[in-house]
Amino acid sequence: MLVYPSGLDLSSSHLRFLTARIRERRRAIGSRWRRLSAGRQALLTLAHLRNGHPYAQLAAEFGIGTTTAYRYIAEAVDLLAALAPTLEQAVREASRKAFVLLDGTLLPIDRIAADRPFYSGKHKRHGMNVQILADPAGRLLWASPALAGAIHDIRAAREHGILHALTSAGIPCWADKGYQGAGPAVRVPFRGRWENLSEGQQAVNRSQAKIRAPVEPAVATLKNWRLLRKLRCSTTRITRLVQTVLTLHLTRSN
């Protein structure tokens, strides 16, 4: 396999943070020698997450076996996923904001037509549903565990306990029409064709669209990690990958 230099559009703080976590892990389990140093293992993991490079390609670039590359990346992903904030922690952070933005996104996966539970009728493709909480400026606060793409946004929000948590904390929330009936804490636009809405309803919908617009950068925060643009792994691992990206993003933000 030919090997060529490649770059990562990430800051050195990501590398330092992950390297420190890996060193702590190695000391805790008494690991004495490995093919890659903690820093190289961290770089291997970030290259996989950010650029979406397959294990075989990364193994050739780092001079290790494919199985070793998989084990090193899986170990680092588990370390970072365990540090991701819970919904309760995210709600406490959101309580300091004027309001929060709620939205759902679909992470595409490679599934065949027979995998109906993963097929999203809204997006016309197979994927995993992930719910996003963002602050008024569009900064990502929390990302939910991944559910099958056939699950609608409002059902996903209920299953994760998002609506109950926001209502209990008294945090105003803005969302799109997919969250109709979510409860008093969630404000949604009026439903119906635009020409059938009254002038007052149209004005409300325009105002809400401006308020909800910053949620798009929060969704893009996940999609900027190329691995999440087209997932080819087991669906049971996708939640940990999302939590890993969330941890790295919040680490950089803080």
pLDDT at 96: 92
pLDDT at 254: 63
Q: What is the pLDDT of residues 62-90, one digit of tens each?
A: 999 999 999 999 999 999 999 999 999 99
CA distance 184 to 221: 28
pLDDT at 174: 95
Say which residue the tokens 């903690």 belong to.
38
pLDDT at 1: 66
Q: Which residues of 171-205 are buried (b: 16+ CB within 10 A; e: fewer)?
A: bebbbbebbeebeebbbbbbeeeeeebeeeeeeeb
Specify the range with the lowest mean pLDDT, choosing from 31-45, 156-170, 188-202: 188-202
pLDDT at 35: 92
Q: Average pLDDT, stretch 222-248? A: 92
Residue 175 and residue 198 in contact, taking contact as beta carbons nearer than 8 Å: no
Band the pLDDT of 3: cuts 50, 70, 90.
low
99: burial class by Cβ within 10 Å (0-12, 13-18, 19+)? Answer: middle
CA distance 4 to 138: 36
In percent, the amount of the chain with pLDDT more than 90 equals 73
* Of residues 3 and 165, more confidently modeled: 165
State the average pLDDT for the chain.
91
Q: What is the pLDDT of residues 84-122, one digit of tens each?
A: 999 999 999 999 999 999 999 999 998 666 567 888 888
CA distance 117 to 130: 15
Specify the range with the lowest mean pLDDT, choosing from 1-15, 111-125, 216-230, 231-245: 111-125
Given CA atoms 79, 84, 89, 92 in this order, what sign does their dihedral have?
positive
